[in-house]
Amino acid sequence: MKAPQSLQKTLGVGLTAGVTLLWMLALLGALYVSQNKLNELFDSTLAETAHRIMPLAVVEIINRENLDQPQQIMSFEAHDKQFIYLVRDALGRILLQSHNADPSIFNQTLVKGFSSSKTHRFYRTSAIQNTLHIEVAQPLIDRREAITQMAITLLWPLILIIPLCFIGSLAFVRYSFRYVIAYRDEVESRGSSDLSPVKMDGLPTEIITIAESVNNLLDRLRRALDSERSFTANSAHELRTPIATALAQIQRLQQKVSAGPIKDSMVKIETTIRGLSGLSEKLMQLAKAEGGGLLSTERHDLISLLSMIVDDTRRSNPGKIITLAIPQNEAFMSVIDPDAFAILIRNLLDNAIKHGISNQPVEISFSSKGVLSIANAASVIPVETLTQLRQRFVRSNLSVQGMGLGLAIADAIVTGVGATMTFSSPAAGRVDGFEVEVDFSMILK
């Protein structure tokens, strides 16, 4: 697939290239017209010079005693002569020439009017019934220099204009795109759980239809997700009472039956009902984790919440060693909803107790920077499995009961509040074990 291109850059470069091209075309046109006008001007000066010199030359030649001797007009002061001339008779004999004239550069045959050689432009006119001919020459280099000077003068501004035009078009395009950029930033900065309509203020007509379609899509997605969540939550809630009733009845029945195959079957039924009860509880948690309301308006101290949950877990798991390392006399205030935080911690602790080696401790720590770590001894989980554990119903330890929902719930909460969760196996500083780290430092305190 072609790599995406920046529209701003493409427009900036395109506009600059367009302006430069137009400028060059205008420059070439101006040079073409100027060259023609300059040639006309130079030609008329050349002809004028010939017509001015001719009468003087005629007088000079007529007054001369020895006509066979060519005469060279001396220059009064050394200067770079633009014009040189030759006065010849009808046979081509040179009668008069300017002091710096080289006869070899002139036309050898008589050409009336204007003519050009590789190096000079000539004008020839005649007098006294075509017996005297004057040919004035001007070096073409003078004309070329003039036109080159003009081209350079017109090109200079272009060197300044190209970068200015590029910066100017980029700034203008950026200014015109300000609402599109604001729209992009808003879409980019949203968390995955925010499905509210994106603001469309000031968007240009070309984009507004896309933005409207995106908002319609978000709306449909939100309604679909809401109905899925409410279905999960409602079903789990509706299941609670019948499951609790069935559990109570089976426990009562067990007391009435003495040991034997019927009692064994009843114990199995009780285990299944307990599993069902756990499933409905996890489904309720998942519905909460994936719904909104994971952030509260008030701030709560995560360290004291964590200590309370750990104490509670210690009480319900008397034989288990659970260590807790927290910064002393410090609080970590956060806007995360206390219920959501409790569900997250309980799921992670439940995993550490359930999947960890039973006689080994569970080590919990919470740093003053807001990083929670829960580590336990366990056999190493391969990396391929580790990356999939946060998906629903994915499990790697099948020796204990579970649905594979705990880490999916934890992941939904962590993502929903804007924190990050990483798993490592083996745990840091060990050869085996499992460690989960949740970084709360990014959440607005």
Ligand X SMILES: Nc1ncnc2c1ncn2[C@@H]1O[C@H](COP(=O)(O)OP(=O)(O)OP(=O)(O)O)[C@@H](O)[C@H]1O
Q: What are phi and psi of 11, to 5 degrees?
A: -65, -45
Q: What are phi and psi of 227, to 5 degrees?
A: -70, -35
d(CA 438, CA 411): 10
Span interacting with Mg ion, options 106-114, 369-377, 398-406, 421-429, rule CB under 5 A: 398-406
Q: Is 376 in the site for Mg ion (CB under 5 A)?
A: no
CA distances 237 to 124, 280, 281, 293, 354, Å, are 115, 7, 8, 18, 25
Q: Tell me, by CB under 5 A, how many residues bind Mg ion.
A: 2
Contacts of residue 57, defined as CB under 8 A and 6 or more positions apart, other chains included, come to 87, 95, 96, 132, 134
From Mg ion, ligand X, none, interface partner of 405 (C-beta below 5 to 8 A by class)? ligand X
d(CA 272, CA 277): 9
User: Judged by CB, which is closer to ligand X: 57, or 324?
Assistant: 324
User: Judged by CB, which is closer to ligand X: 12, or 402?
Assistant: 402
Q: Is 403 in the site for ligand X (CB under 6 A)?
A: yes
From ligand X, Mg ion, none, interface partner of 395 (C-beta below 5 to 8 A by class)? ligand X
Among 87, 195, 336, 407, binds ligand X (CB under 6 A): 407
From Mg ion, ligand X, none, interface partner of 222 (C-beta below 5 to 8 A by class)? none
Among 313, 351, 376, 415, binds Mg ion (CB under 5 A): 351
Q: Which residue has the tokens 């499905």?
A: 195
Among 273, 434, 437, 440, binds ligand X (CB under 6 A): 434
From Mg ion, ligand X, none, interface partner of 356 (C-beta below 5 to 8 A by class)? ligand X
CA distances 255 to 112, 258, 259, 273, 276, Å, are 139, 7, 10, 17, 22
Residues 257-296 that bind ligand X (CB under 6 A): 282
Nearest-CB residue to ligand X? 406
Nearest-CB residue to Mg ion? 406
Q: How far is the CB of 335 from ligand X (least distance, A)?
A: 26
Among 12, 356, 406, 433, binds Mg ion (CB under 5 A): 406
CA 246 to chain centre: 59
User: Judged by CB, which is closer to Mg ion: 337, or 411?
Assistant: 411
Q: Is 396 in the site for ligand X (CB under 6 A)?
A: yes
Q: Is 406 in the site for ligand X (CB under 6 A)?
A: yes
Q: Is 320 in the site for ligand X (CB under 6 A)?
A: no
SS (H, E, C) 243-267: HHHHHHHHHHHHHHCCCCHHHHHHH
Q: Is 39 in the site for ligand X (CB under 6 A)?
A: no
d(CA 314, CA 310): 6
Q: Is 360 in the site for ligand X (CB under 6 A)?
A: no
One symbol per residue from 223 to 262: x for binding Mg ion (CB under 5 A), - otherwise; what is it?
Answer: ----------------------------------------
Among 95, 364, 378, 413, binds ligand X (CB under 6 A): 378
Contacts of residue 305, defined as CB under 8 A and 6 or more positions apart, other chains included, come to 338, 341, 342, 345
Span interacting with ligand X, options 101-109, 116-124, 130-138, 354-362, rule CB under 6 A: 354-362
Among 232, 280, 351, 373, binds ligand X (CB under 6 A): 351
Burial letters 222-258, b for 16+ CB under 10 A, else e? eeeeeeebeebbeebeebeeebeebbeebeeeeeeee
Q: Is 424 in the site for ligand X (CB under 6 A)?
A: no
Q: Is 421 in the site for ligand X (CB under 6 A)?
A: no
- Residues near Mg ion (CB under 5 A): 351, 406
- Residues near ligand X (CB under 6 A): 282, 351-352, 354-356, 376, 378, 389, 395-397, 402-408, 434
